[in-house]
């Protein structure tokens, strides 16, 4: 086959360091989402949708066939941290870890709705509860100490 083709959809989740609500201001949150979309596009991993809340981000994107999930997350966290500091968030940092979950094309619409409703969702459920549920639903073994980090 003369060309490499892939359609790997991934739901990526990561939080601010110490769950600090750096994204509490809705305008900054929306700007961050837009910035992340541009960064993903530049990495060859276009966003399907991005949603966030006060202290974390959810991204559904197509994973570039040239990047690992780890490298993708490293690059978008690094560039968006620098961007946030230009917006006056001097102490902005993302947490070290992340969650990345595969999404089948048949579930894209459902995952998009979930990601787009983060503000409403978190009126009832904390990020920690949500992340723990995502890990369980995706069969990911985890150490409880790191869910709360």
Residues whose CB is less than 8 angstroms from the CB of residue 16 and which lie 6 or more positions away in sequence, other chains included: 22, 23, 55, 56, 92, 93, 94, 95
Output the CA angle 55-81-67, nearest 5 degrees.
100
Full residue range of the structural domain in which residue 33 is found: 9-147
Position 3 in a domain: no
pLDDT in tens, 71-127: 999 999 999 999 999 999 999 999 999 999 999 999 999 999 999 988 787 888 888
30-45 residue pLDDT tens: 999 999 999 999 999 9
In a domain, 1, yes or no: no
Domain annotation covers residue 110: yes
Question: For the chain, what percent of residues have pLDDT higher than 90?
Answer: 73
Q: What integer pLDDT is reported at residue 127 of this predicted model?
A: 84
Cα separation of the two ends of the chain: 45
Residue 105 lies in a domain: yes
149 has pLDDT over 60 = no
- Domain total for the chain? 1
| Any domain includes 62 | yes
Residue 21 has pLDDT above 60, yes or no: yes
47, β-bridge pairs: 61
Q: pTM for the complete prediction?
A: 0.91
Q: Is residue 117 part of a domain?
A: yes
Strands of 47-53's sheet in order across: 47-53, 56-62, 9-15, 99-103
CATH of the domain at 136: 3.30.70.1290
């Amino acid at each position: 086959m003369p060309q490499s083709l892939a359609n790997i959809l991934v739901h990526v989740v990561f939080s601010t360091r110490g769950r600090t609500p750096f994204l509490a201001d809705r305008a900054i949150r929306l700007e961050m989402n837009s910035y992340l979309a541009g960064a993903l596009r530049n990495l060859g991993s276009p966003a399907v949708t991005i949603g966030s809340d006060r202290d974390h981000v959810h991204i559904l994107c197509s994973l570039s066939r040239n990047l690992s999930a780890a490298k993708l997350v490293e690059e978008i966290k690094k560039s968006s941290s620098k961007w946030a500091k230009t917006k006056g968030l001097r102490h902005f940092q993302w947490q070290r870890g992340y969650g990345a979950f595969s999404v089948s094309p048949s579930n894209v619409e459902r995952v998009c709705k979930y990601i787009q409703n983060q503000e409403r969702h978190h009126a009832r459920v904390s990020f920690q509860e949500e992340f723990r549920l995502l890990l369980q639903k995706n069969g990911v073994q985890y150490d409880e100490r790191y869910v709360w980090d």
